Amino acid sequence: MTDNIYEYKDEKNWFVGKWQGFNTLAGLGQVSNEAYLRLNHDLASLLDSDKVDSKDNQNWRPNGYDVTVIKKSSDFRLIAFVVDMIAQETGRPLKVKQHQGAVLVTEKERLLLVHLPEAGVKLDDFFGNSGAEKLGDTILIATRNEGKTKEFRKMFEKLGIKVENLNDYPDLPEVAETGMTFEENARLKAETISEITGKMVLSDDSGLKVDVLGGLPGVWSARFSGPDATDAKNNAKLLHELAMVFELKDRSAQFHTTLVVAAPGKESLVVEADWPGYIATEPRGDNGFGYDPLFLVGETGRTAAQLSAQEKNEISHRGQAVKKLMEVFPAWQQEH
């Protein structure tokens, strides 16, 4: 704590401050309390520990400002006054800039604070004529399947994130899924495409694991019956492999999904989910695809192909994995 007294005064602005550890901003009646609370909330956030790189700011310590506003006509002048106090007391290279009516606070290459006027700022003014269209984070789903993309779009729109898929990037090369596990394959696709495009990328690898077959078909689920595999051929081969397994309890299986989100310079995010059930002795149901007509859901006696799309999305391996992803994704996205 220091005994330094700070002051700024001109014809329309007069501020007096002391560094004494409370992060308070008080006015003498010319501005509403709500306006001071809003402004103080923004300024106090500059002293949040997660905005301070302790390696670069050895002088940083958890004290704060105490500022009295005698008169004010400019948010910029007040913000610049408080930021200068913080910079002098902590040794941090903070800078204040004005841009189209907004006030920006930066530290080296990081934007720490954007303070907007109460009426806001027009997007085209702030970002330029083409910039507003590019506003917001985007995630690239590593699939050309529009149905799967639609499912993910519903989820990510709730987080304010735009969704693209590989159909938006026709020149991207196909990534061979040469991994021996679901995670290896999902990582290969997500991390390779992220490295090529510089974008945040989500990839999934899914398949059926049958216990009595040692986990097969597993990562080979889509091509279980050979290079010319179809859903019908894969189902026929699976029934053939289980022809001598008569007890339902011995025909236990799980649908599995691994989701991987990759972004440049970050450790990839991985979530997994299993959907337990059994393999029926004959196909039933007209919905779904792949092994759905043979997969008996838990103890229900119904196959996945006998469920509606909404029922399946609620309880399936992919539905469970997406729910897990939505729980951990916001925190992962905020990591540096």
Residue 165: beta bridge partners? 141
Q: Which residues pair with 154 in a beta bridge?
A: none
Q: Which residues contact 14 (CB under 8 A, 6 or more apart)?
A: 7, 8, 69, 70, 71, 72
* Residue 171: Cβ within 10 Å count: 5
Q: Which of 75, 204, 205, 292 is catalytic?
A: 205
Predicted pLDDT of residue 22: 81
Domains of the chain plus CATH, in order, are 5-131 (no CATH), 138-334 (3.90.950.10)
State the 10-residue block means of pLDDT for the chain, 336 residues long.
82 90 76 74 80 51 81 89 92 90 89 87 74 71 87 80 92 89 96 94 96 96 93 96 96 97 94 97 91 94 91 88 89 77
Radius of gyration from C-alpha coordinates of the chain: 28
pLDDT, position 20:
79
Nearest-CA neighbor of 240 among 265, 216, 207, 205? 216
The arrangement of strands across the sheet holding 200-210 comes to: 162-165, 138-141, 200-210, 252-262, 269-279, 295-297
205 is catalytic: yes
Pairing of strands 295-297, 138-141: unpaired
Q: What is the reported pLDDT for 30?
A: 55
- Starting at the edge strand that comes first in sequence, how are the strands of the sheet with 14-19 ordered? 5-9, 14-19, 65-71, 24-27
For the beta carbon of residue 257, count every other beta carbon within 10 angstroms: 23
3 state DSSP class of 327: helix
Long-range contacts of 292-299 (CB under 8 A, 24+ apart): 293/235, 294/235, 294/238, 294/239, 295/208, 295/253, 295/255, 296/248
> Phi and psi (nearest 5°) for 32?
-65, 150
Calculated CA dihedral for residues 65, 70, 76, 81, nearest 10 degrees: -40
Q: How far apart are CA 186 and CA 202, in angstroms?
A: 8
Note the pLDDT of residue 283.
95
Angle between helix axes 33-44 and 75-90 (nearest 10 degrees) is 30
User: How many CB atoms are located within 10 Å of the residue 15 CB?
Assistant: 22
By three-state DSSP, how is residue 146 classified?
helix
Rounded Cα distance, 145 and 152, in Å: 11
Q: How far apart are CA 228 and CA 263, in angstroms?
A: 34
